[in-house]
């Protein structure tokens, strides 16, 4: 019965309990729509006096219109009955379309809007759109230079040149040894039972004077898979129950800003260069004291496209109602597949920044091309090549 009332409300064009007069009036001039309009008026309890006035006046107008048409075109009287049947079917079709639009029009508009926004916002295009041309170019270069595996020798200090399967902790240790002031220290947690790994984590925290939160991530992860910000030993134990691969425990660097800086140096060249900077912005929602975090995500123009990613990561916290004005960060890992926003950051380029990264890179034997994921306190300090921390180096990939 609830569904039927919803249907009748959609037919009447009103959700307040009283049908609109024009709906009832128009049914007189659209053959085939009169019965559903009259039934709807009854179900929605239209006052009898109003119903009688509308139906009587429109009946008079319709009768006058029919007789006027027959008087003006007497030759068409014979076919009027057949035309009236056709008009009845046409009217019923029009009424059905109006009914469907009122009932499902909003959902249809929202669906079309989502499709359009995904088309015009390239960040939501499927990955193969971008990777396919790169794969074609790599294949062509491999044929041209007679070696499909040639890029794997781009970095002699990394497995496969850092294309796939490289150990993050190994190059992180190299960075720590040559530039400890610019590196977020990290430690390896070997596979084993949950108890043995928890004991290893507790020892690392105690010996190195670490504090919560810290980061756990796979030693050979790709595109931020498995990244976890750990706020307690209970969080760490819960995470380790789900994974048994070698893990990197790293000191958490709040930032609050993050960027990816792409670097290269030709072997034998005296200096390296920066050829790209990507700014990684943390998306967030602002509480209004009424809606849950999940609802705020749904209302956000961008975040709603990644609602599944955010809500899955937040877990039960997605049902929390943040206070008025409270900012809730939705992402910790600096990866687009995790929901991060990527922006062009070449405006941060400066010679002091290039020299700082070049000085660090040249101390790493066999390193020639890659990307440094860094967190930093302010844009001005980054341009001056100061007060930043490398949280992860990536190789040729």
Q: Domains (ranges, CATH) in the chain?
A: 2-118 (no CATH), 127-168+180-251 (3.30.1490.20), 169-179+253-282+331-397 (3.30.470.20), 287-327 (no CATH)
CB 248 within 8 A of CB 169: yes
Q: Cα–Cα distance between 54 and 345 in angstroms, integer?
A: 66
DSSP conformation class of 73: -
Q: What is the pLDDT of residues 175-227, one digit of tens each?
A: 888 899 899 999 999 999 999 999 999 999 999 999 999 999 888 756 556 78
What confidence tens digit (pLDDT) does each residue in 262-283 have? 999 999 999 999 999 999 888 8
Residue 66 has pLDDT above 50, yes or no: yes
Which residues make Cβ contacts (< 8 Å) with residue 43, sequence separation at least 6? 4, 5, 8
Q: What is the pLDDT of residues 233-271, one digit of tens each?
A: 999 999 999 888 899 999 999 878 999 999 999 999 999
pLDDT band at 37 (very low <50, low <70, confident <90, very high): confident
Q: What is the DSSP letter of 76?
A: G
- What phi and psi values does residue 308 have, to the nearest 5 degrees? -60, -40
Torsion angle (degrees, nearest 10) of CA 211, 248, 278, 118 = -100
Count CB atoms within 10 A of the CB of residue 145. 10
The answer to whether 284 and 291 have CB atoms below 8 angstroms apart is no
| Residue 364 CA, distance from chain mean position | 36
Phi, psi of 188 (to 5 degrees): -90, 135
Dihedral angle, C-alpha 105, 296, 253, 204, nearest 10 °: -100
Tokens of 158: 């990394």
pTM of the model: 0.68
Phi, psi dihedrals of residue 390, rounded to the nearest 5°: -80, 115
The arithmetic mean of pLDDT across residues 154-182, rounded, is 84
Residue 257, helix vs strand vs coil:
strand
In whole angstroms, what is the distance from residue 347 CA to residue 223 CA?
24
Are 198 and 240 in contact by the 8 Å Cβ rule? The answer is: yes
Q: What pLDDT score does 205 carry? A: 94
**Tell me: the pLDDT tens digits for 307-351?**
888 888 888 889 999 999 999 988 876 566 667 788 899 999 999
């Amino acid at each position: 019965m609830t569904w039927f009332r919803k249907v009748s409300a959609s037919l009447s064009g009103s959700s307040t309990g009283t049908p609109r007069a024009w709906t009832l009036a128009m049914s007189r001039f659209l053959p085939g729509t009169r019965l559903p309009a009259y039934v709807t008026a009854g179900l929605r309890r239209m006052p009898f006096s109003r119903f009688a006035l509308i139906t009587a006046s429109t009946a008079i107008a319709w009768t006058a219109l029919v007789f006027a048409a027959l008087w003006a075109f007497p030759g068409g009287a014979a076919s009027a009955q057949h035309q009236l049947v056709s008009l009845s079917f046409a009217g019923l079709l029009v009424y059905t379309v109006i009914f469907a639009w009122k009932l499902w029009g909003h959902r249809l508009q929202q669906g079309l809007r989502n499709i359009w926004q995904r088309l015009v916002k390239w960040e939501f295009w499927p990955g193969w759109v971008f990777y396919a041309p790169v794969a074609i170019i790599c294949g062509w270069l491999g044929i041209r230079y007679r070696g499909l595996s040639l890029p794997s020798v781009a970095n002699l200090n990394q497995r496969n040149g850092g294309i796939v399967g490289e150990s993050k902790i190994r190059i992180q240790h190299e960075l720590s040894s040559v530039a400890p002031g610019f590196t977020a220290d990290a430690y390896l947690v070997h596979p084993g039972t949950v108890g043995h790994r928890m004991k290893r984590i507790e020892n690392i925290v105690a010996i190195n004077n670490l504090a919560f939160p810290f980061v756990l991530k796979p030693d050979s992860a790709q595109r931020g898979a498995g990244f976890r910000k750990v706020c307690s030993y209970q969080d760490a134990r819960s995470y380790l129950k789900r994974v048994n691969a070698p893990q990197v425990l790293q000191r958490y660097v709040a930032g609050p800003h993050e960027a990816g800086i792409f670097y290269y140096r030709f072997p034998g060249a005296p200096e390296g260069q920066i050829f790209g900077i990507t700014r990684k912005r943390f998306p967030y929602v602002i509480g209004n004291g009424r809606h849950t975090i999940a609802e705020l995500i749904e209302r956000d123009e961008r975040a709603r496209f990644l609602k599944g990613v955010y809500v899955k990561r937040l877990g039960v916290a997605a049902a929390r109602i943040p206070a008025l004005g409270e900012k809730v960060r939705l992402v910790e890992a600096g990866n687009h597949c995790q929901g991060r926003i990527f922006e062009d950051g070449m405006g941060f380029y400066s010679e002091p920044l290039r020299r700082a990264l070049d000085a660090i890179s040249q101390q790493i034997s066999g390193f020639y091309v890659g990307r440094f994921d860094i967190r930093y306190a302010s844009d001005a300090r980054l341009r001056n090549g100061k007060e930043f921390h490398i949280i992860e180096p990536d190789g040729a990939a």
